[in-house]
Amino acid sequence: GDSWGIFTFLCAALCNLPALPALNCTEELGAGQSIQKTYDLTRYLEHQLRTLAGTYLNYLGPPFNEPDFNPPRLARAERVPSATVDLDLWRGLTDNARLAANYRAYSRLLCYLRALDGQAGTAELRHRLGHFCSSLQGLVLSIAGVMSSLGYPLPAGPSAPPGTPGTPGAPNDFLKKMDDFWLLKELQTWLWRSAKDFNRLKKKVPPAVVTLRLEARGF
Amino acid sequence: ESHTQYERVGADVTMKCGSMDWDAAVTWTANGTDIDESHLNGSYLILKNVDLTQSGQYSCYEGSSWHLKYQTSLRVGTPPKEPVLMCRSNNYPKGFYCSWHLPTPTYIPNSFNISVIHGTSEMVCEKDVFLKNRCHIRYLQLFSTVKYKVTLTVTNALGKNSTTLTFDEFAIVKPDPPESVVAKPVPNNPRRLEVSWQNPSSWPDPESFPLKFFLRYRPLILDQWQHVELSDGTSHTITDAYAGKEYIIQVAAKDNDIGTWSDWSVAVHATPWTEEPKHLTTEAQVTETTSASTSSFMPPPTTKIYDKGAVVGSGAVAVCWTAGLVLAAYGVLFI
């Protein structure tokens, strides 16, 4: 409860600080512990998303807020990264591929969510979305931390964020709402999947202790 | 030749004696017993407002020759009511099963047809080997955003009915209860009970899909349960048992992240270890023993959470450090 509030606040605050005092520190960073924290963060976000999605879908109005709403997937919705994967393929993913898939997905989902934030109707909705985006950014950074502590390179950032010229916007209001609906659905599914991804990583990565000596100048 | 005829409860039934004319002289029997002429309209047999007891073999004989002219089996029943359908994944991530039944019997044969649609594709539900009202689906993909739509149609000679369930992959996950629950006293510890259990055997991959557990226990003579939630491990030691009292203990399981709790396991009974009773010589010693046991009955505490993974107190400090380090590492990569 409280420790997660601190964690996300720190992520948000630290992201916005222009410079940090130089850090000379030696710290024992267990990759296993980072994975545990990342796992915990996905669970926290999943809980947060339930409230956010409920509020947002009510804002979109029917049929989007109906529990049985089960529309077919339109081709345009493929832009949002899907968590769906063949079972054997998922099992066989290397640690690097598993982490990279999560990193790429949340980076892109974060971009789309930020675009949503810019257009959302009510102040309450914008506030909730803003808070969620900060937490989601924390998750992206946490995954990056795990990858670097295991020595994996970070995947390249998202190619074209939405809203830039060239990316097709929705031709009408209803299709725009459909896009929003699928975005929230994919986000929810990714958070469920990540819990399983990080469970698997927890078991496979031994809780070896890595000693890190960091000398960071200003950011 | 023989026929079968299905009719609704409460209907009026008219049976014709095959190709015989209306004014022919015939005798009808029901299960071998002659039917009174008052039920006849010419050669037709009229049964008004039929009930279930009137099901049986009806035969029509030509008047004088006793030639069997027509025979039919009357089956009185009802059209099916809306069936009850349930789908559940107790073997995630392998797949799920759906099981169904009728809320009230129809008294006549029914056939069931189940269809499972996922997005645009129809999936095959394989019939269970032993249970006739159950079938199994294997997941082809995991972490699907598209819902599953299962429609069950039940049909009989008098009508049909159907029901549909729509759900997400995650919503129907419910493991079977834990197995082999064992509770043992701990020697020389009059307030302890050691409980252990196993993952349900139907859960295929507890490594990647770990289960968490909920344990409940109470002394037989009290109604209020105590609860312990365990995020890890398949054993737990109860440390606040009332000395000398027999306990009833049950365990439930749930996927760590998704779905719902299993049903409670089979209950096990255990009594904490007690010292060998000493020889009671004086009356004072006897009264002392009785008053001690009655005064130990105080309202027990409610829920405790045992989470072997996290240590909350020092966690806050560790989190601050980790946050700084994660961001530092991230920053270092980009400098």
Tell whether B121 lies on the interface with A, counting CB pairs under 8 A.
no
- Whether A1 is in a domain gets the answer no
pTM: 0.75
Mark whether B46 and B24 lie in a shared domain: yes
Mark whether B195 and B262 lie in a shared domain: yes
- Whether B236 is in a domain gets the answer yes
How many angstroms separate the first and last alpha carbons of chain B?
94
Phi first, then psi: give them for residue B294, nearest 5 degrees. Answer: -75, -35
Cα A177–Cα A107–Cα A4 angle in degrees, nearest 5: 95
Is there a contact between A35 and A195 (Cβ–Cβ < 8 Å)?
no
Tell whether A159 lies on the interface with B, counting CB pairs under 8 A.
no
- Whether A184 is in a domain gets the answer yes
Mark whether B110 and B186 lie in a shared domain: no
Out of B145, B209, B309, whose CB is closest to A196? B209
Mark whether B68 and B30 lie in a shared domain: yes
Phi first, then psi: give them for residue B180, nearest 5 degrees. Answer: 50, 50
Q: State what percent of residues in chain B have pLDDT above 90.
A: 67
Give the span between the Cα atoms of A99 and A177, in whole angstroms: 30
Domain closes at, from B270, B299, B319: B270
Is there a contact between B52 and B69 (Cβ–Cβ < 8 Å)?
no
Range of the domain at B62: 3-77
Q: State what percent of residues in chain B have pLDDT above 70.
A: 82
Residue type, A87: L
Out of A7, A83, A142, whose CB is closest to B143? A83
Residue A89, both tokens: 């393929």
Cα B192–Cα B194–Cα B198 angle in degrees, nearest 5: 160
Out of A46, A86, A154, whose CB is closest to B141? A86
* Nearest-neighbour CA in chain A from B223: distance (Å): 32
* Nearest-neighbour CA in chain A from B147: distance (Å): 7
Residue A50 CB neighbours (<10 A): 12
Domain closes at, from B77, B100, B122: B77
- Whether A14 is in a domain gets the answer no
Phi first, then psi: give them for residue B326, nearest 5 degrees. Answer: -60, -45
- Whether A7 is in a domain gets the answer no
* Nearest-neighbour CA in chain A from B327: distance (Å): 7
Q: State what percent of residues in chain A have pLDDT above 70.
A: 70
- pLDDT tens per residue across span B293-314: 444 444 444 455 554 444 444 4
Element (H, E) at A76: none
- pLDDT tens per residue across span A96-112: 999 999 999 999 999 88
Cα A9–Cα A12–Cα A17 angle in degrees, nearest 5: 115
- Out of A109-118, A119-128, B155-164, B306-315, least confident range: B306-315
Out of A68, A70, A196, whose CB is closest to B208? A196
Nearest to A112, CA basis, from A67, A147, A78: A78
How many domains in chain A?
1
Mark whether B145 and B99 lie in a shared domain: yes
The complex scores an ipTM of 0.75
- Whether B15 is in a domain gets the answer yes
The pLDDT of residue A212: 43
Please name the residues between 74 and 113 in chain B that touch chain A, using a CB distance below 8 Å. 93
Chain B positions in Cβ-Cβ contact with residue A68 (cut-off 8 Å): 166
